């Protein structure tokens, strides 16, 4: 048994808090971030050790060893035995260690410095694994590391999109070949399951997956609140209705229930209308090869070749979003369709640190609250003062003491911050639609004249008594945060 050298030491020996009882909230949160960065440091050390084991026990033999249980397997077996993990897990650890050492050394240093979380390493390694050219690999490694060291926070999907954008930009030929292989391998299959059940599976292009999912979800939502099925069960039944043409019904048992009316599962029924969106550079569709990658909400970054395939679909509609001044008509409170479209293209996901909810399923929110009673004192309905938040984080911002702020840098990019009730400020997304499409900065919107919005059933008839104080506090906190950020340009970013 290998004894631990950790438990016998005081946390203070590792630069950590010892007794945490009664420690202020901000100090606890800061320590939590510090400890998480320590996990990255320890994971860096694990990969270094595994890579050195590979050097000593495998080395060049990997090129000539044809044994079933070869030197790589035996090296991984040693790791699996010592760590009490499965052989496949040990082989994965060893493979990532070698990839980081040989192909992604700059990313490995980011792990050491706490600029990337350990769980994100799998994503980076796997999505760059098919790059074979050493020069391209070095450029991709440097570009990913540069992004990881930006000021800002990363979510799982934003990090994935960043890696894909860089890979698709530097290795378009490889991406095209891999995508064609994947398309050729698409399939459909069924399996028998226990208790009289079965499993249906299929692989298809991303756009077809989204189209199918939207139709299934739309049908499953056409029931009343008394339908006894779970959401998952309703979606399973909806797929059967769509493929067989049987009527879609609510199972609440009420003969007068009309919730399912308006949904027709037949190919020509009203329920067949679904739309998927793709954001792409217009020049990409006119090129035979190359071009910039694009973005498909609900999926992520797609290659230039994929964009051209989509543009050639007979049901594709291409709309240009051009630069210049785009005046906002009508309602001064709710964004126009054009502004809402711009915002989800820019934000891509909920702007709250770590949140991956797609922007198209989020709420358009005024960062500085729109004052319904006195619009001249409220926020403006324009990109500088709006962003997308998922319903949960929108509620957190609106009804609790969390604060958000948004400023625009010299390049037109939004910089979002979230401040906890105790005053701890965290930077928002490090990767947005501007990284894919810098031309978004050329688009301008003129805010509509201030004025009260038209009455709606959802608009409250009485404001909370503490609203004025809340607005004043938020204004004070935002100005303080802006002054702090201006004086502290060299401050370190959060670890993730």
Q: Looking at per-residue confidence, does 447 or 411 come out higher?
A: 411
Residue 121 φ/ψ, nearest 5 degrees: -65, -40
- Comparing 252 with 101, which gets the higher pLDDT? 101
Confidence at residue 332, expressed as pLDDT on a 0 to 100 scale = 74
* DSSP per-residue codes, 177-245: HHHHHHHHT-EEEEEE-STT-EEEEEE--HHHHHHHHHHHHHHHTSS-TT--S-HHHHHHHHHHHHHH-
User: For residues 22, 24, 25 and 27, what is the CA-based torsion angle, rounded to 10 degrees?
Assistant: -120
In this predicted structure, the answer to whether residue 490 has a pLDDT above a threshold of 50 is: yes
pLDDT at 447 over 90: no
Which carries the bigger pLDDT value, residue 388 or residue 450? 388
pLDDT band at 493 (very low <50, low <70, confident <90, very high): low
| Residue for token pair 């090296």 | 75
Ranges 63-72, 82-91, 96-105, 167-176: which has the least confidence:
63-72
pLDDT of residue 491: 57
Kindly state the average pLDDT of the residues 401-422. Answer: 91
- The lowest-confidence range among 61-75, 391-405, 474-488 is 474-488
- Tell me what percent of the residues of the chain surpass a pLDDT of 90: 46
In terms of pLDDT, which residue wins out, 221 or 467? Answer: 221
Stretch among 145-159, 301-315, 338-352 having the lowest mean pLDDT: 301-315
pLDDT for residue 31 is more than 80: yes
Question: What residue has token string 């420690």?
Answer: 23
For residues 276 and 204, what is the distance between their CA atoms, to the nearest angstrom?
15
- Do you know the residue count of the chain? 496
pLDDT at 318: 82
Alpha-carbon separation of residue 171 from 86, 148, 175, 286, 287 (angstroms) = 34, 20, 6, 19, 16
Residue 371 has a pLDDT of 75
Mean pLDDT in residue range 220-225: 88
Pick the range with the lowest mean pLDDT from 13-22, 137-146, 274-283, 321-330.
321-330
Residue 194 phi, psi (nearest 5): -75, 165
Confidence of residue 405 (pLDDT cuts 50, 70, 90): very high
Mean per-residue pLDDT, 38-56: 96
Average pLDDT, the chain: 84
Mean pLDDT of 60-89: 87
Buried b (16+ CB within 10 A) or exposed e, 162-191: bbbbbbbbbbbebbbeebeeeeeeeeeeee
C-alpha pair distances (Å), 59 with each of 54, 64, 266, 311, 314: 6, 10, 61, 48, 53
pLDDT number for residue 462: 38
Per-residue pLDDT at 467 exceeds 60: no
Q: Would you state the structure tokens that stand for residue 461, as one six-digit string?
A: 């008839």
- Distance in angstroms (rounded) separating the CA atoms of residues 282 and 322: 10
For the packed helices 87-102 and 118-127, what is the interaxial angle rounded to 10 degrees? Answer: 70
**pLDDT beyond 90 at 374:** no
pLDDT of residue 247: 83
Q: What is the pLDDT of residue 264?
A: 64
Q: What local confidence, expressed as pLDDT, does residue 376 receive?
A: 66
pLDDT at 483 over 80: no
Under 8 Å between Cβ of 342 and 383: yes
- What residues are paired with 189 via a beta bridge? 201
Better-predicted residue by pLDDT, 332 or 185:
185
Do residues 348 and 161 make contact, with C-beta atoms less than 8 angstroms apart?
A: yes
Question: Distance between CA 237 and CA 461 in Å, rounded?
Answer: 42
Check whether 336 has a pLDDT greater than 60: yes
pLDDT of the residue at 325:
46
- 162-178: average pLDDT: 87
Q: How far apart are CA 335 and CA 332, in angstroms?
A: 7
Most confident range (mean pLDDT) of 27-41, 248-262, 285-299 is 27-41
Residue range 408-428: average pLDDT? 91
Q: Considering only CA atoms, which of 359, 414, 484 is closest in space to residue 152?
A: 414
Contact 155, 355 (CB under 8 A): yes
Mean pLDDT across the stretch 359-378?
A: 82
Q: How far is CA 334 from CA 29, 331, 454, in A?
A: 36, 6, 10
Residue 448 pLDDT exceeds 60: yes
Percent share of the chain, pLDDT over 70: 85
**Longest pairwise C-alpha distance within the chain:** 78
Q: pLDDT by residue (tens digit) across 248-276? A: 888 988 888 888 776 665 555 555 566 78
For residue 391 the two structure tokens come to 């319903």
- Check pLDDT > 70 for residue 473: no
């Amino acid at each position: 048994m290998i004894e631990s050298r950790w438990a016998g030491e005081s946390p203070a020996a590792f630069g950590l808090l010892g007794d945490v009882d009664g420690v202020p909230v901000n100090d606890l949160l800061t320590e939590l971030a510090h400890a998480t960065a320590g996990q990255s440091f320890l994971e860096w050390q694990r990969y270094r050790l595994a890579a050195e084991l590979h050097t000593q026990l495998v080395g060049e033999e990997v090129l000539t060893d044809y044994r079933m249980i070869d030197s790589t397997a035996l090296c991984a077996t040693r790791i699996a035995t010592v760590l009490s993990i499965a052989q496949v897990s040990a082989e994965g650890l060893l493979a990532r260690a070698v990839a980081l050492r040989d192909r992604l050394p700059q990313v490995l240093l980011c792990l050491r410095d706490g600029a990337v979380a350990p769980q994100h390493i799998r994503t980076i390694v796997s999505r760059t694994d098919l790059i074979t050219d050493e020069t391209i690999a070095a450029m991709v490694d440097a570009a990913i590391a540069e992004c990881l060291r930006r000021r800002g926070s990363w979510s799982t999907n934003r990090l994935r999109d960043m890696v894909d954008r860089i890979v698709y930009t530097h290795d378009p030929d490889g991406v095209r070949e891999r995508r064609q292989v994947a398309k050729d391998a698409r399939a459909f299959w069924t399996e028998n399951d226990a208790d009289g059940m079965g499993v249906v599976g299929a692989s298809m292009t991303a756009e077809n997956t989204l189209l199918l999912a939207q139709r299934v979800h739309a049908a499953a939502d056409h029931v009343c609140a008394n339908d006894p099925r779970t959401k998952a069960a309703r979606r399973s039944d909806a797929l059967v209705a769509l493929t067989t043409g049987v009527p879609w019904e609510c199972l609440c048992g009420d003969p007068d229930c009309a919730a399912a009316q308006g949904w027709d599962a037949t190919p020509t029924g009203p329920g067949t209308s679904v739309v998927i969106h793709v954001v792409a550079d217009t020049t990409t569709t006119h090129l035979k090869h190359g071009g910039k990658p694009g973005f498909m909400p609900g999926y992520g970054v797609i290659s230039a070749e994929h964009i051209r395939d989509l543009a050639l679909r007979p049901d594709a509609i291409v709309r240009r979003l051009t630069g210049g001044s785009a005046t906002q008509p009508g309602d001064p409170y709710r964004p126009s369709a054009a502004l809402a479209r711009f915002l989800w293209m820019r934000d891509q996901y909920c702007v709250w640190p770590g949140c991956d909810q797609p922007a198209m399923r989020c709420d358009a929110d005024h960062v500085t609250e729109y004052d319904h009673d006195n619009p001249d004192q409220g926020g403006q309905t324009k990109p500088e003062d709006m962003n997308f938040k998922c319903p949960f984080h929108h509620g957190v911002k609106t009804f609790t003491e969390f604060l958000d702020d948004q400023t625009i840098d010299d390049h037109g990019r939004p910089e979002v911050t979230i401040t906890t009730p105790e005053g701890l400020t965290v930077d928002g997304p490090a990767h947005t639609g501007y990284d894919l499409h810098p031309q978004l900065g050329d688009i301008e919107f003129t805010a509509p004249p201030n004025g009260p919005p038209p009455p709606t059933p959802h608009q409250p008839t009485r404001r909370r008594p503490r609203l004025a104080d809340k607005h004043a506090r938020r204004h004070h906190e935002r100005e303080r945060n802006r002054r702090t950020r201006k004086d502290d340009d060299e401050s370190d970013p959060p670890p993730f």
